[in-house]
Amino acid sequence: MKIKEIAIYQSPIKLKEPFVISLGRHDCAENIIVVVTTDDGLTGFGECCPFKTINGESMESAFVVGKYLGQPLIGKNPLDIELCTAIMDAVIFSNSSIKSAFDIALYDIAAQNANLPLYAFLKGKNNKKLITDYTISIDAAEKMAADATKIIANGFQIIKVKLGGTKIEDLERIQKIRSAVGMEIPIRIDANQGWKTEEAVDILKALYPYNIQHCEEPIPRWDFMQLPRIKNESPISIMADESCCDHHDAKRLIDLSACDQINVKLGKSSGIFKALKIIRLAEVANINMQVGGFLESRLAFTASAHLALSSENIVHCDFDSPFMLREDPVIGGIQYSLKGEIIVPDQIGLGASVDSAYLQELTKVVLN
């Protein structure tokens, strides 16, 4: 089997409301869709959401780099994912987001060829509940509390709160949210690198009485040598996110005992191939994980859901972004039931594709 054709699409989708984190504001999901076709007639779909402030990519830059990555893959065996990954890494350093879109499409083809759902191809089982949280953007405390009330009214069981401001601001945000929803509903927080070390320890101690599950990436990613101190002094579990992109980062953080948990995202790891390496390291170290994402559609989050079924150490899911999009061009894929529970497709392969009429309207390039 050989790769016959690769199509790369720019897929911008407006958000229902602005999404605001400590790193900036987003009004649109600027995604890329990759479609890989083989000479045997199999088609694999992949997607990514380049994030300028996290992985240094934009939709436009990923579109250009996608052409660099795709051309040397034409004629290669799509089932040899290790070789295809090595080829992409040899073409250009980093660019993990666009590489992940290619990777997902390749795994879709490989699972189809094996006549297995992707989770089974990854040696996983569809035997555990996947429940997503729902994220509240940074805003005035009153607005965030009102958003929390709506989230609970819509049936979600877990709230994720974006923080990263001053101690006074962030404490007020959590206090008002707790006043609005009570103390029982689980709350996760994500500072997106917004605090300094001393500040992080101080804020985490102040937030402890408010029943916080964990805190993602409290300080700048480059300052990871301070994470062990924060982990040791914080009464709240620390989850590495931006400081853990691939398996090399994971090994470093594990060796440093720098975090209690790891947030795995395909857009950070360059896709499933390297995400599995992170997972294996975390399993050996007995570290639990969350699988999350950026602002992708249900296409990429379907791949993430399959991945989440591949390890018992994956205990958290952050799959709410598709709710934020004004359009849903995905055919098949994960479905959301009551209370944020996720139903993973049992179809062969990824079990998700993109509406052809939607693709026809997008800016694209075809490599063959």
pLDDT at residue 339, rounded to an integer: 87
Are 201 and 233 within 8 A, CB to CB? yes
What is the distance between the alpha carbons of residues 286 and 315, in angstroms, rounded to a whole number?
A: 12
Which of 22-26, 105-109, 264-268, 315-319 bottoms out in mean pLDDT, i.e. has the lowest? 22-26
Kindly give, in sequence order, each residue whose CB lies less than 8 Å from that of residue 202, ignoring residues fewer than 6 positions away: 167
CATH fourth-level superfamily of 120-351: Enolase-like C-terminal domain (3.20.20.120)
**In this structure, which topology does domain 3-115+353-367 adopt according to CATH?**
Enolase-like; domain 1 (3.30.390)
Catalytic residue numbers, as ranges: 162, 190, 216, 241, 265
Beta bridge partners of 25: 20
Beta bridge partners of 26: 19
pLDDT reported for residue 20: 86
Residue 200 has pLDDT above 90, yes or no: yes
Q: What is the DSSP letter of 226?
A: G
Tens digit of each residue's pLDDT (9 = 90 or more) over 252-273: 999 999 999 999 999 999 999 9
pLDDT, residue 281, reads 98
Q: Where in the chain is the domain with CATH 3.30.390.10?
A: 3-115+353-367
- State the average pLDDT over residues 351-358: 98
Query: Could you tell me the pLDDT band of residue 22, with boundaries at 50, 70 and 90?
Result: confident
Chain region(s) in the chain for CATH 3.20.20.120: 120-351
pLDDT of the residue at 329: 98
In the predicted structure, residue 23 carries a pLDDT above the cut 90: no
pLDDT at 365: 98
User: How many Å apart are CA 127 and CA 227, to the nearest integer?
Assistant: 34
pLDDT band at 80 (very low <50, low <70, confident <90, very high): very high
pLDDT in tens, 229-257: 999 999 999 999 999 999 999 999 999 99
Q: Is the pLDDT confidence value at 338 over 90?
A: no
* Cα→Cα distances 112→19, 45, 117, 292, Å: 35, 11, 7, 24
What average pLDDT does the segment 184-211 reach? 97
What mean pLDDT is reported for the chain? 97
